[in-house]
Amino acid sequence: MSDLIEELLAGKHRALARVITKIENRHSGYRELVSQLHQHTGNADVIGVTGSPGSGKSTLVDKMAATYREQGLTVGVIAIDPSSPFTGGAVLGDRIRMASNVGDMDVFFRSMSARGSLGGLSTATTDAVKALDAFGKDKVIIETVGAGQNEIDIVKTADTVVVLVPPGSGDDVQMLKAGILEIGDVFVVNKADLEGANRTVQELQEMLEYRDGNIPRTIGHHGAGGMDSTTESLRMDAETDGWEPTIVETVANRGEGVDELLSVLEAHSQYLDESGERESNTRMRYAEEIRTLVREDVNDLLAEELERRGGLDAYVQQVLDRETDPYAVSDELVGPLADCVREKREE
Amino acid sequence: MSDLIEELLAGKHRALARVITKIENRHSGYRELVSQLHQHTGNADVIGVTGSPGSGKSTLVDKMAATYREQGLTVGVIAIDPSSPFTGGAVLGDRIRMASNVGDMDVFFRSMSARGSLGGLSTATTDAVKALDAFGKDKVIIETVGAGQNEIDIVKTADTVVVLVPPGSGDDVQMLKAGILEIGDVFVVNKADLEGANRTVQELQEMLEYRDGNIPRTIGHHGAGGMDSTTESLRMDAETDGWEPTIVETVANRGEGVDELLSVLEAHSQYLDESGERESNTRMRYAEEIRTLVREDVNDLLAEELERRGGLDAYVQQVLDRETDPYAVSDELVGPLADCVREKREE
């Protein structure tokens, strides 16, 4: 095992930060690091939090992290910023200050951005979560801006998905139709004290009722359940019918509703264990991880081979001149690989 | 060359239909057929027509085809129906009747559906267009329902993209924001005699002005250009500034505006030739075709290899048991391929 991984496993935050940097930059040797991390993973509870800019996401995540710390749990946060080509900077700086307000380093914040392709960011996020998991963080929060398909794919890798909806914005409820509604386990209407929050909760209830055929539980000012709904009652529902999505109203900047949100997350986590869904979800994720890595590795191999043969442009010119055609080109490139594979089988 | 291709090149519609069926079904030997077709392609003008259901797309395409026939040109139409798992049936039957109304078989209609993946449908459409091109059709029309990304990808393979917008529907103009606006060369407001058409034309003009910084030309009832805009004036614009998107108003079921639309399409076709864009677009398409085929072929090869090694599930179980990890699995699967490629290089 590398010294760096040993230090990470020994609880050195500096080593954790360096491993994540190597993962993010695809530094040579990062694959071996992630391979070594894998056997130490599987203990963290991974929570994805997504929502449009202005929904109060950062504030809520900070309050969640602080509350987990009060409960004696360790927390890692990865904030995904696909719009920024650079890592760190102002956002990272701000969040580190917030972390230190919590009073210790056991809330580890890290922002990651889209250096290369967004597909690559998805893989890098999965790998960074493994670093936090192996380090021993009890809770890992992946925070994304809920815009495109790629970010939905990223947040979907969490065990529990929290979707934030700011009140009074019809646009944001419409946005939910575009795929985020399907992946949410828990919905948070933040800034629930603002005008329009009631209507947003109602619209969400209607959309979720349409999705599932049941009226969702709502915890907070406007919900029938009120603030007295308990984790115990949530668990009982879950045991009979599968997980029922829950709407939680919060006022994150005053810390209101955060305890209730964490209770719901805990109930979902228990539901995942008791129903067997955590294991089946993990299987699906590993299968997807393998498929993605194989695809990336083969693409690298083919790109190298294509370059050696004069590049794609030379083939395109031959196709344009009707000297060859796309199927023949693919046969020429993939054929030798297929032959190799068959020869190896016969050995 | 196969007998089937010889018959196709000799102008037998029955052979053309059989080749497209083999392409659609990925019948064994279809690759060789498409390879043989390729050298006979490059003469057809390919027009993509997309629009939401109810926009009058089929009627417009039928009128376009009939008008081309009156001009002595031959036409092939491929209607893509990704929602239907089956080919043919009622839709195909209807369209064949319409074809026979034209009075000859030189309008060749064919519907294709999403048997397998939509990615596969995109490749199959490209291949079917080659069959129509090699057959000698002057105009090939690809007709799709303009909904998702996959259909945008399909219609983008055309030389000229026509986007149909039904009047009076704010939703449809909104839909244009989702990617279709970017790919349209010509926009058609069909049913231009209906209430609301004026507003739809205005909204389209504003969106295209926002896109390009110029007020688009509009030909029809509500446009400043009126019905007297000529192909000649369009060409002059095109020579100076690149292609300027054009809005054409039609009432397809009465045949109104169809001649004007075909004039605009002709102007765009000439623009593609004179600007060199046809060649650069063709190069990009061939590069994309090669990339797609290589990816598909490698995926087939890997799937076969994975199956031989006990399937993906066995690897997932090992990853779950922490006996291995996703990167190690990818190394195990792709490593032998990389070794083969390197050995071949040294030979």
A236-291 pLDDT, tens per residue? Answer: 454 456 888 899 999 988 989 999 999 999 999 999 999 999 999 999 999 999 99
Question: pLDDT class for B335, splitting at 50, 70, 90?
Answer: confident
A190 and A319 belong to one structural domain: no
Chain A, window 13-72: residues with a beta carbon less than 8 angstroms from a chain B beta carbon: 31, 34-35, 38-39, 42
B111 and B168 belong to one structural domain: yes
Domain assignment of residue A334, given as a range = 290-346
**Distance between B34 CA and the closest CA of chain A, angstroms:** 8
A202 and A303 belong to one structural domain: no
Mean pLDDT in residue range B206-228: 70
The DSSP letter of residue A112 is: E
Q: Which residues of A touch B327 (CB under 8 A)?
A: 31, 34-35, 38, 293
Give the domain-ending residue among B241, B275, B309: B275
**Distance between B329 CA and the closest CA of chain A, angstroms:** 7
- B230-252 exposure pattern, b = at least 16 Cβ within 10 A, e = fewer: ebeebeebbeeeebbbbbbbbbb
CA distance B145 to A133: 46
**Most confident residue range from A168-172, A265-269, B164-168, B224-228:** A265-269
B169 and B217 belong to one structural domain: yes
Which amino acid, residue A123? T
Say what the pLDDT of residue A115 is. 56
Say what the pLDDT of residue B173 is. 61
B66 within a domain of the structure (yes/no): yes
Interface mutation target, options B123, B284, B286, chain A, most CBs of A under 10 Å: B286
Q: Is B145 left (phi over 0), alpha (psi -120 to 50) or beta?
A: beta
Say what the pLDDT of residue A92 is. 43
- A258-284 exposure pattern, b = at least 16 Cβ within 10 A, e = fewer: bebbbbbbbbbbbbbeeeeebeeebbe
CATH number at residue A201: 3.40.50.300
A248 and A309 belong to one structural domain: no
- B82 versus B184: the higher-pLDDT residue is B184
B324 within a domain of the structure (yes/no): yes
A67 within a domain of the structure (yes/no): yes
Neighbours of B274 (CB within 10 A): 12
Q: Please answer whether residues B47 and B155 qualify as being in contact, where contact means their C-beta atoms are separated by less than 8 angstroms.
A: no
In this complex, is the C-beta atom of B305 within 8 Å of any C-beta atom belonging to chain A?
yes
The residue of chain B nearest to residue A297, with distances taken between CA atoms, is B334
Q: Do A340 and B345 touch (CB under 8 A)?
A: no
Neighbours of B312 (CB within 10 A): 18
Q: Which helix (H) or strand (E) holds A224?
A: none
Nearest to A327 among B293, B320, B325 (CB): B293
Neighbours of B158 (CB within 10 A): 24
- A7-29 exposure pattern, b = at least 16 Cβ within 10 A, e = fewer: bbbeeeeebbebbbbbbbeeeee
In this complex, is the C-beta atom of A83 within 8 Å of any C-beta atom belonging to chain B?
no
B53 within a domain of the structure (yes/no): yes
Q: Is the ipTM of this complex over 0.90?
A: no
CA distance A198 to B188: 42
Q: Please answer whether residues B246 and B219 qualify as being in contact, where contact means their C-beta atoms are separated by less than 8 angstroms.
A: yes
In the sheet that B45-51 helps form, which strands lie side by side, from edge to edge?
Answer: B107-113, B75-81, B139-145, B45-51, B160-165, B186-189, B246-249, B217-219
Domain count, chain A: 2
Q: Please answer whether residues B149 and B172 qualify as being in contact, where contact means their C-beta atoms are separated by less than 8 angstroms.
A: no
The lowest-confidence range among B11-20, B164-173, B268-277, B319-328 is B164-173
CA-CA distances (angstroms) from residue A328 to A322, B33, B123?
Answer: 11, 11, 15
B85-137 pLDDT per residue, tens: 444 333 443 454 344 444 456 688 888 875 544 457 788 899 999 999 999 99
Q: Which two tokens stand for residue A48?
A: 């994805």
List the one residue out of A104, A113, A168, A108 whose CA is nearest residue A140. Answer: A108
- Number of alpha carbons in the 13 Å side-chain half-sphere of residue A173: 19
A175 and A54 belong to one structural domain: yes
Q: Which helix (H) or strand (E) holds A284?
A: helix A277-308
A18 within a domain of the structure (yes/no): no
Cα angle: A273, vertex A276, A282; to 5 degrees: 90
A101 within a domain of the structure (yes/no): yes
Mean pLDDT in residue range B335-340: 83
Q: Please answer whether residues B224 and B183 qualify as being in contact, where contact means their C-beta atoms are separated by less than 8 angstroms.
A: no
Say what the pLDDT of residue B271 is. 95
Give the domain-ending residue among A275, A310, A332: A275
Say what the pLDDT of residue B181 is. 77
B201 within a domain of the structure (yes/no): yes
The residue of chain B nearest to residue A301, with distances taken between CA atoms, is B338
Interface mutation target, options A286, A308, A320, chain B, most CBs of B under 10 Å: A286
A46 and A173 belong to one structural domain: yes
Cα angle: B32, vertex B33, B37; to 5 degrees: 115
Question: pLDDT class for B295, splitting at 50, 70, 90?
Answer: confident
Which parts of chain A register pLDDT below 50?
A: 85-94, 96-103, 116-118, 224-230, 235-236, 238-239
CA distance A49 to A146: 9
Say what the pLDDT of residue A114 is. 58
B90 and B179 belong to one structural domain: yes
Say what the pLDDT of residue A116 is. 46
Say what the pLDDT of residue B325 is. 97
**Distance between B338 CA and the closest CA of chain A, angstroms:** 7
Q: Which residues of B touch A287 (CB under 8 A)?
A: 312-313, 316
Give the domain-ending residue among A275, A306, A328: A275
A226 and A338 belong to one structural domain: no
A62 and A181 belong to one structural domain: yes
B285 within a domain of the structure (yes/no): no
Asked whether residue B2 carries a pLDDT value surpassing 50, the answer given is: yes
List the one residue out of A184, A173, A135 whose CA is nearest residue A52. Answer: A173
A259 and A295 belong to one structural domain: no
Asked whether residue B234 carries a pLDDT value surpassing 80, the answer given is: no
Rounded percentage of chain B residues whose pLDDT exceeds 70: 80
Question: pLDDT class for B151, splitting at 50, 70, 90?
Answer: confident
A342 and A269 belong to one structural domain: no
